[in-house]
Structures are given as C-alpha cells and as structure tokens.
C-alpha cells in the first residue's frame, strides 16, 4: 500500500496540540481580562469516575468534573503547575524537541516551579492530558522504556533533521527501537498483512531468524513486557491506518494475558484517552488451554499469580467468554508456562506448528 504525502499524522498532531495548548492559555487570559480568578475544569480521575465502556472496549472517565481555581488557596499550587506544564509542552512542540517525564520534573526547577518529586509531576502531566483530552506523546513527552519493530515496511520520518527520510524496517535484523521518531513516522509502503506483537526479545529474534515476516507477511513488534504507551499507540495506528489485523503472543500466565488485554483494551490509568487501544486485536496465546493441549513444560502458579487471576476475573475487560474461560482454566490446572516452553519440541516448532494454528484465529476474528 502507498500513501500520498500531504499532511502527515505528525503534522496534524502538532497543529492540534498547539491549538489546544494555546486555547488553554487564552482561557486563563480571558478570565483575567474579565476580572475572574482563572480556573481550569477537568474530568475527575477518582476511581468512582472510571467506568468500563463495553462499546469502546476500554475504560472511560464519567461525568464528574473537578475545578482547579486560582481563587482557592488550596488550588493555587496545582493550578500553577498545570499552567506551567502547558507552557512547557507548547515550547517542546514548537521547538520540535522531545522530553522524558523525568526531564519535565527537572526542567520545572529552571522556572522555579516546584514539584515535590517526579510522582507529583507525572500526576499533573496526566491532569494535563485529561484537560486537553490528548496524550502526552502528542505534547512530545515520552517515557524511558522502548520496544522494537521489524518487518517489510518502509517508513518516512517526520522528526527534525529527518523530515521525509525513509527507512526500511527490515534493514536491521535485531529490530529498530520504537521511540519518539518511529512513533511519529508515516507508513510509506508495506506488503505486510498482519502485525504480531510479542512479549519477549528472545522470541522476537526467533521469529526474525525463522523468517516469520516473510512466511506470514507479518510486521513483528517486541513489546518488551507490558508495552510502553507509544508502542500501544503504534499498534493502533498500524491497525487503523493500514487496516492490519493485530495478534498478540505472551507467556501463559496472568501477567502475559494482561499484556494482551492492555494492548487490546488499554488501562484504567489511561481512561481519559482513546488512542491507546486496539479493540480488534486478538490474543493468540499462549493460553492456559495451550499448556494442556501442547503438553508444555510448566510451573505451579504462585499465591500472587492466583490472587491476580481472581482480580482479572472481576475485571470488566475480561467478561468475554473466551478470556473468562482461559482465566478459569489457569485456576483449574494451577499451572503457568512461557513462550519459550515450545523449545521443548525444537526451536522452530513454535513457528512451524503452533503459529499457523493460531493465525486461523485472526482470520475468523
């Protein structure tokens, strides 16, 4: 598929972010001009205001709002912090620079804005996201963690110094990091027919060595455990912009299942965002029932695993029959297993035997 290069996704995001941030500033000025104490009103992130939306298949924020008013002595601090964050984000976007959450915390000190610790600045950055209804990545604020991508796809970078430069994502067999540049790149050309997200680097490399990208025309993504938000955002873009089905392969334990679920339906922490989920993504495995079916080497579930399984059973994201059944199977067999356990049948078994069976699921999805 090929795409005409008019306005890039990155340019659209930038224009949108700048407009929203400017609007926030203007609302403060307007309040002042009209003799009011400036204030900001945003959706509440209290647990009671986080509800599961079955249609969107993700958590969303309810109707309760909170107001931060400079007229209230208790609010002056968070109000000021929030306005400064908006100022700093606008500066980042304008200068086409990115920053980590940690950088933001330290940068505040240059402006005599006080955050007690990074936890506090992270909280306020989330408030800014809620206020703007926009992900911090759109404001060029990224986390530390990275995952990687590999496959037959040409992308076009949009970051400064790289505007319009193309890169072939099959040029480096260890994969390319998914950071700010890749997340904001345009998809120029690919013959891929699906995306496979994999929990671990070892299996990611195995898939590349076994040519899964060619055999199954798949883009491969190493989520490196629970994927960072920018990786989830990229999964959604590949799904929505290119119409590629997304399959997820994780360890057969509650933590692996939840990686698949967060890729699909997001997290409660990001209930205020809509760009981090891929509702059509398919959990390919490794399922609890696969441990039985494939006679996989396994370990006993720990107390913590079992506690976690009961938590997931009461989680609204897990109500679909197939997910719920697998949670029950874990509790019944009291075993867990790993992706690498298939090596018991030889290193290529997972690619030659297991994967083709599982890919049927994506066709029927």
Please give the residues from 240 up to 279 whose contact with a copy of itself meets the rule CB under 8 A.
none
Buried-exposed string 236-261: b where 16+ CB fall within 10 A, e elsewhere = bbbbeebebbbbbbbbbbbbbbbbbb
CA atoms within 13 A on the CB side of 348: 7
* Cβ closest to a copy of itself, residue 342 vs residue 354: 342
Q: Is 106 a catalytic residue?
A: yes
Q: How far apart are CA 251 and CA 232, in angstroms?
A: 18
φ and ψ at 198, to 5 degrees?
-125, 135
Cβ proximity of 183 and 234 under 8 Å:
yes
Residues 6+ apart with CB under 8 A from 330: 252, 253, 254, 288, 301, 305, 309, 336
- Pairing between β-strand 147-150 and β-strand 153-156 as defined by DSSP bridges: unpaired
Coil, strand or helix at 91: helix
Provide the minimum distance between the beta carbon of 225 and a copy of itself in the complex, in angstroms, as a whole number: 10
Per-residue binding string, a copy of itself, 71-110, x by CB under 8 A, is --------------------------xxxx-xx-xxx-xx
From candidates 297, 329, 333, 353, binder to a copy of itself by CB under 8 A: 297
By the rule CB under 8 A, 302 interacts with a copy of itself: no
Residues 6+ apart with CB under 8 A from 303: none
Provide the minimum distance between the beta carbon of 224 and a copy of itself in the complex, in angstroms, as a whole number: 8
Please give the residues from 105 up to 164 whose contact with a copy of itself meets the rule CB under 8 A.
105-107, 109-110, 142, 144-146, 148, 157, 159-162
Interface stretch with a copy of itself, choices 40-48, 63-71, 178-186, 259-267 (CB under 8 A)? 178-186
Interface with a copy of itself: number of residues (CB under 8 A): 53
Provide the minimum distance between the beta carbon of 231 and a copy of itself in the complex, in angstroms, as a whole number: 12
> Which of 106, 142, 294, 345 is the catalytic position?
106
From candidates 14, 68, 206, 308, binder to a copy of itself by CB under 8 A: 206
Provide the minimum distance between the beta carbon of 86 and a copy of itself in the complex, in angstroms, as a whole number: 17
Q: 102: which DSSP letter?
A: H
Burial of 126 from C-beta contacts in 10 A (0-12 / 13-18 / 19+): middle
Provide the minimum distance between the beta carbon of 5 and a copy of itself in the complex, in angstroms, as a whole number: 18
Q: How many CB atoms within 10 Å of residue 163?
A: 13
* Cβ closest to a copy of itself, residue 130 vs residue 197: 197
From candidates 58, 205, 265, 277, binder to a copy of itself by CB under 8 A: 205
319: nearest Cα among 270, 265, 356: 265
Provide the minimum distance between the beta carbon of 51 and a copy of itself in the complex, in angstroms, as a whole number: 34
Using left for φ > 0, alpha for ψ between -120 and 50, and beta otherwise, residue 159 falls in beta
Per-residue binding string, a copy of itself, 321-350, x by CB under 8 A, is -----------------x-xxxxxxxx---
Residue 21 is encoded by which pair of tokens?
Answer: 């941030």
Give catalytic residue positions: 106
The residues that touch a copy of itself, with contacts defined as CB under 8 A, are: 97-100, 102-103, 105-107, 109-110, 142, 144-146, 148, 157, 159-162, 165, 167, 171-182, 200-202, 205-206, 209, 211, 224, 297, 338, 340-347
């Amino acid at each position: 598929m090929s795409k005409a290069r008019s306005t890039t996704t990155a340019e659209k995001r930038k224009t949108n972010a700048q407009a929203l941030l400017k609007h926030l500033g203007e609302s403060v000025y307007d309040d002042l001009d009209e003799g009011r104490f400036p204030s900001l009103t945003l959706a509440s992130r209290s647990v009671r205001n986080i509800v599961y939306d079955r249609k969107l298949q993700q958590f969303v924020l309810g109707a309760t709002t909170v107001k931060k008013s400079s007229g209230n002595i208790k609010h002056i601090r968070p109000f000021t912090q929030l306005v400064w964050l908006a100022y700093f984000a606008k500066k980042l976007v304008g200068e086409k620079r990115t920053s980590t959450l940690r950088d933001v915390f330290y940068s505040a000190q240059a402006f005599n804005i006080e955050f007690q610790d990074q936890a506090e600045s992270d909280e306020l950055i989330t408030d800014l996201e809620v206020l703007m209804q926009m992900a911090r990545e759109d404001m060029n604020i990224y986390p530390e963690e990275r995952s990687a991508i590999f496959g037959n796809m040409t992308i076009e970078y949009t970051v400064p110094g790289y505007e319009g430069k193309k890169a072939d994502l099959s040029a480096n067999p260890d994969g390319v990091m998914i950071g700010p540049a890749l997340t904001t790149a345009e998809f120029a050309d690919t013959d891929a027919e699906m995306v496979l997200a994999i929990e671990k680097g070892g299996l990611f490399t195995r898939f590349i060595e076994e040519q899964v990208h060619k055999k199954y025309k798949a883009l491969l993504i190493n989520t490196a455990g629970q994927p960072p938000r920018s990786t989830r955002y990229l999964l959604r873009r590949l799904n929505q912009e290119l119409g590629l089905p997304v399959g997820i392969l994780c360890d057969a334990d509650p933590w692996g299942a939840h990686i698949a679920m967060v890729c699909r339906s997001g997290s409660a922490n990001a209930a205020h965002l809509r760009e981090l989920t891929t509702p059509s993504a398919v959990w390919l495995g490794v399922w609890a029932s696969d441990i039985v079916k494939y006679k996989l080497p396994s370990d006993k579930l720990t107390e913590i695993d079992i506690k976690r399984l009961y938590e997931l059973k009461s989680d609204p994201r897990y109500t679909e029959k197939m997910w719920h059944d697998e949670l029950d199977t874990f509790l019944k067999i009291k075993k867990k297993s790993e992706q690498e356990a298939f090596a018991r049948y030889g290193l290529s078994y997972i690619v030659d035997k297991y994967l083709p069976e599982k890919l049927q699921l994506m066709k029927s999805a």
